[in-house]
Amino acid sequence: MQVWKSDEIVFTETVSYGETLMVSQPLVMASAAGWYVGQVYKEHGFVMPYDRLSEYFATPEEANELLQYH
């Protein structure tokens, strides 16, 4: 997992399936399939993927364009 962000990630307390998690704001992220807009969560000092919010893109700039306009 790679995150394309220059400043600090902001986490918000979120209840998901009865469990309280610290979930990030939408971010531009990368996987083996390409770049996408998604979220991560933090648990026990680790940051892990939480949700994919968009389709995949070829470049981080394309994903960031979607993030900037929504």
pLDDT at res. 3:
81
**Alpha carbons 55 and 6: distance in angstroms, whole number:** 22
**Alpha carbons 24 and 35: distance in angstroms, whole number:** 17
pLDDT at res. 11:
94
27 contacts: CB under 8 Å, gap ≥ 6: 3, 4, 5, 9, 37, 38, 39, 40, 67
Structural domain range at position 22: 2-69
Give mean pLDDT in consecutive 10-residue pieces for the chain, a chain of 70 residues: 79 94 95 95 92 96 87
Give one DSSP letter per residue of 2-53, joined into a string: EE--SSPPPEEEEEETTEEEEEEPPEEEEETTEEEEEEEEEETTEEEEEEE-
pLDDT at res. 70:
64
The tally of domains found in the chain comes to 1
